[in-house]
Structure 1
Amino acid sequence: MKTLVLSLLVAVALAERPSLSYDAPAPHTSSPVQQIPIIRDERVHPAADGSYSFDVETGDGIVRSESGGPGGAQQGTVSFTFPDGQVFDLQFVANANGYQPQSPFLPVAPAFPHPIPAHALEQIERGRLELEARARGEQANPSRHYGQPQ
């Protein structure tokens, strides 16, 4: 009986063991894969001083250029066309002041000073009054402070 149980356990273990061979994935038939040709690929690999550059253009209209030099400063451009025909252009500089992109497609923060909402002004005033009260050794508004129940 022990031999039979042991044989069954070995058979189950061998049946559940994953295959150790690799089979290529089945071809994806829902849509053909479109190969986009690279029209231009010009690269200057990093020199001894760290300077480099590359220019790449693909058959679907993507253009990417970048260059950099000693000290880690970089600058470049990216452009492509949206499906609706708009051309996206982005220029950037990356240096000690951080990454600085420029494009009409990037969101722009409102000009400062912008109007401060009334609820924010109320909180600022409340904080000022509380600081003044603490400086005088008072509690600003005891009913607004939560403490241990009595």
Structure 2
Amino acid sequence: MNFVVLAAVIALAVAAPQYSYGPPSEESSEEVIEVIPILRDDRVHEDDGKYSLDVETGNGIVLSQSGSPQGPDDAIVKAGEYSYTAPDGTEVHVRFVADENGYQPQSDLLPVAPEFPHEIPQFVLDQIAKAAEEDAAAARAAEDSSEEVVAPSRLYHSPQ
């Protein structure tokens, strides 16, 4: 019985994967990852929740950011900027604020929505005016009677 257990343990040890932690051999298809040094990493964390950080890497990435608990319910409001060189060689520089209105980046490279391509058609303007008139009439009718105000969406009906 001991022989069977010993044979099972030896078989398990031989079948276990063998890991190598050295660099890949020259014949290997594994990609060697370049290690980028951190040139600067200055961080300040104050007791009141304020912080700042400045980081710069050897490949040109720069990040500068600061924040403090100024938002609703002491949410952290932060502002800063970062820059790097895109793979196509374009210099990217982004300034940002992150507060109760969300993340708000600013950069010359960010896309901007095009101007509205044409004027609003007259039939759309007419429909908007008609809806406003119906809302005003419903409000006047509610003031004149003691009935409950009906939601404007229930006043609209199919076109005649």
TM-score range, shorter chain: 0.5 to 0.7
CA-to-aligned-CA distance 1:7-30 (integer Å, 9 cap, x gap) = xxxx9xx98xx95x8845786543
Query: What is the alpha-carbon root mean square deviation over aligned residues?
Result: 4.0
1:53 is displaced (CA, Å) by 0.8
State the identity as a percent: 43
Q: 1:58-69 counterparts in 2 under 5 A? A: 58-69=57-68
Aligned position for 1:99: 103
Q: How far apart, CA to CA, are the structure 2 residues paired with 1:64 and 1:87? A: 14
Q: Which amino acid aligns with 2:112?
A: V
**Post-superposition shift, 1:70?**
2.5
| Structure 2: gaps spanning 5 or more residues | 1-7, 71-75, 135-153
Q: Distance in 2 between matches of 1:139 and 1:68?
A: 54
What number of residue pairs does the alignment pair up? 119
User: Residue in 1 aligned with 2:89?
Assistant: 85
Q: For residue 49 of structure 1, what is the aligned residue in structure 2?
A: 48
Deviation for aligned residue 1:80: 0.4
User: In the aligned structure 2, how far is the partner of 1:48 from the partner of 1:54?
Assistant: 15
User: Residue in 1 aligned with 2:113?
Assistant: 109
Shift of 1:117: 6.4
Deviation of residue 116 (structure 1)?
Answer: 5.1
Residue equivalent to 1:39: 39
CA distance in 1 between partners of 2:87 and 2:93 (Å): 14
Query: Structure 2 length as normaliser, TM-score?
Result: 0.56
Question: SS of the residue aligned with 1:77?
Answer: strand
Distance 1:139 1:107 in 2: 40
TM-score in terms of structure 1 length: 0.59
Q: Distance in 2 between matches of 1:117 and 1:109?
A: 17
Confirm or deny that 1:140 pairs with 2:139: no
Partner Cα separation in structure 2 for residue 60 and residue 139 of structure 1: 63
